[in-house]
Structure 1
Amino acid sequence: MSKNTEVLIEGLTFTEGPRWHDGRLYFSDFFTHRVLAVDTKGNMETIVETPQQPSGLGWSPDGSMLIVSMNDQKLLSFSNGELSEVADLSQLATHFCNDMVVDKKGNAYVGNFGFDLHAGESIKPTNLILVRPGEEPCVVAENVFFPNGTVITPDDKTLIVGETFASCLTAFDINEDGTLANRRVWADLRSIEEGYTPVPDGICLDAEGAIWVLRPQPMMSLGSKKAALYWIRWKLIGEPLLVCWEVKTEIPYLFLLQTTPQKRLA
């Protein structure tokens, strides 16, 4: 595995929700309320500014961008230069909304904090919310502990979510109607590295089906046997990393986003 790492852009605040789309990496920058896009040469563009903090990103089959609006617990759509509300999640989400994954049908799976993390509240389980195109949102999984980074396997049959405060990756079968079934632990991260309590945040699938997990330090790659294939420790990068996205191109890229204000994307 190549170990070449370079800083792509700097001057960001708190980055989240990376997704590769049409040759660029799209991501949210919390505290500037911006959704940004950058190519592999570091050319960056502001796509849209949102009224509240943006987080998870995805795309509908019609090409419109879906954006999680954290603080007001809404799912937004951005198309033809206009923002519009897709769904109000405030009756289902028990605290700030966060990450999201969108399948090929346009079904959006949205997680939320479940409790006031910043006020020091005790950890509480929450739910995973499904927003189907043209339908009211519904809860498709309960008793999940801070559902965070989420991926869907290429065959669209399995959803895997990182439960930050359960220290595990949890898998579900995806039913034809988008609902979830057959919940199981995909990987118990505590069993992989003893003596450390991992808190999985960003996850992504690579071309070989392994899941990269940011916890936030160090990063690991988990294969189908749930064994660590690679470890990445970043003395040169230094600051905590919470989200990642792997790009399945001729030359593979693994993008790592930092969290400390005014830092960078590598």
Structure 2
Amino acid sequence: MTGRAHSICDVGATLGEGPIWVARESALYFVDIKAPRVYRYDPATAKLEHWDAPGQVGWIVPIAGGGFLTGVQDGLYRFDSASGAFEKLCDAEPEKPGNRMNDAAVDPAGRLWFGSMDDSEESATGHLYSFTNGVIRDSGADPVIITNGPAIAPDGKTLYAVDTADRRVDAYTITAEGTLTEKRPFLVLDDSVQGHPDGAICDSEGGIWLGFFGGAAVRRYASDGQCTQTVEFPASNVTKIALGGPDGRDAYATTARKGLSKEQLAEQPEAGNLFTFRVNVPGISGTELKLDK
């Protein structure tokens, strides 16, 4: 099945990423890592707001009870959209100043999983972490150049970690202690698929949606690894989608202008914008971070 996405908001992001549907506000939040900014888009009014972040910001997730947590290059920050204030909670990787945060997800237990990457995209210094009760713990997943996802299965038992540079997705079993075991290959892409796998999410049936940077598309893979849907974009660099809206079937996708030449940008005037399309299977709603600290 093949569809096509259309632009709904002119953003012009250098590196749009991390879209997440916030059910309590019926709104979409996302980031432009390189700006660096946090954005809020209200589909009901088509209003776009933004706040400047204190450093390269890789992701944003809602906190149960109010507010947000963001992953900035030097650590984790609480963010208040009412005031626009960022409050640093803790360092993330002080021993790796060349790294930055890149993507994150909250599992059904309310635990955060987030990844880092080499900002120069050269060395395998990217790690995947869990964050519970104010403590960051290395997940035990293999280090890679660029971490993406992670995507969490609806039952909270499986995590899908994207290795963007090596064009593969691996599945891990999530332990009760917040570590990962039983690594197995889920998806290894060949030359028939254009682009590099980027951000990933799971829908309510356990299907995995992947953005393709340089591939002008997003694809849905069933839990057995078979591609069930492709949605094409008029922009090369598609980073990630979120599923939301009244019935959970509105898809919102971030894109990027990063790496495109002047000629490519002229051919892709909507690159960096926010896009939308409809899906058949709704997303997983209501997952918020449990934060005691």
Q: 1:3 to 1:233 in 2, by over 3 A?
A: closer
Cα pair 1:66 1:76 within 8 Å, conserved: yes
* Equivalent position of 1:240 in the other structure: 237
Report the Cα offset of residue 223 of structure 1: 0.7
Q: Which amino acid aligns with 2:254?
A: L
For structure 1, the 5+ residue unaligned runs are none
Over the aligned positions, Cα root-mean-square deviation in angstroms equals 2.6
Structure 2 residue runs without a partner (length 5+):
259-270, 276-293
Counterpart for residue 12 of structure 2? 12
Secondary structure of residue in 1 paired with 2:165: helix
Secondary structure at the residue paired with 2:196?
A: coil
Cα 1:44–1:249 change in 2 (3 A) is same
Q: Percent of aligned pairs with the same residue?
A: 21
Query: Would you say 1:200 and 2:201 are equivalent positions?
Result: no
For residue 124 of structure 1, report the CA deviation from its aligned partner. Answer: 2.1
- Match of 2:69, as an amino acid? L
Cα deviation, residue 211, structure 1: 1.0
Contact 1:8–1:42 under 8 Å retained in 2:
no
SS at match of 2:198: coil
Correspondence 1:85-124 to 2 at 5 A:
85-91=88-94, 93=96, 95-114=99-118, 116-117=120-121, 121=122, 123-124=123-124
Q: TM-score, normalised by structure 1?
A: 0.83
Q: For the residues of structure 1 that align with 2:245 and 2:172, how far apart are their CA atoms?
A: 24
Deviation, structure 1 residue 259: 0.1
Question: Secondary structure of 1:124's match?
Answer: coil
1:249–1:92 distance in 2 versus 1, CA, 3 Å: farther
Aligned length: 254
Answer yes or no: is 1:147 the counterpart of 2:144: no
**1:214 is matched by which residue type in structure 2?**
G
Matches within 5 A, 1:133-172: 133-135=133-135, 137-145=136-144, 146-172=146-172
One-letter amino acid of the structure 2 residue matched with residue 30 of structure 1 = I
- Cα deviations by residue, 1:193-237 (Å, 9 ceiling, x for unpaired): x45575210112223321111222143210122111122333xx2
Q: Which moved more, 1:15-24 or 1:224-233?
A: 224-233
State the one-letter code of the partner of 2:143: V
CA contact under 8 A between 1:60 and 1:102: conserved in structure 2?
no
Instruction: Give SS of 1:176's match.
Output: coil
AA partner of residue 163 (structure 1): D
Q: Residue type of the partner of 2:10?
A: E
Sort the Cα spacing of 1:186 and 1:4 in 2 relative to 1 into closer, same or farther, 3 A.
closer
Match of residue 215, structure 1, among 203, 212, 215: 212
**Counterpart secondary structure, 1:8:** strand
Structure 1 residues 126 and 52 mapped into 2: Cα distance closer, same or farther (>3 Å)? closer
Change in Cα spacing, 1:3 to 1:215, as seen in structure 2 (3 Å) is closer
Quickly say closer, same or farther: Cα 1:115–1:24, change in 2 above 3 A. closer
1:30 pairs with 30, 33, 56, which one? Answer: 33
Mark the CA change 1:90 to 1:264 in structure 2 (over 3 Å): closer, same or farther: same
Which of 1 and 2 has higher RCO (CA within 8 Å, sep 6+)?
A: 2
Report SS of the residue matched to 1:11.
Answer: coil
1:77 has 2:78 as partner: yes
Alpha-carbon distance, 1:4 to partner = 6.1
**TM-score normalised by structure 2 residue count:** 0.76
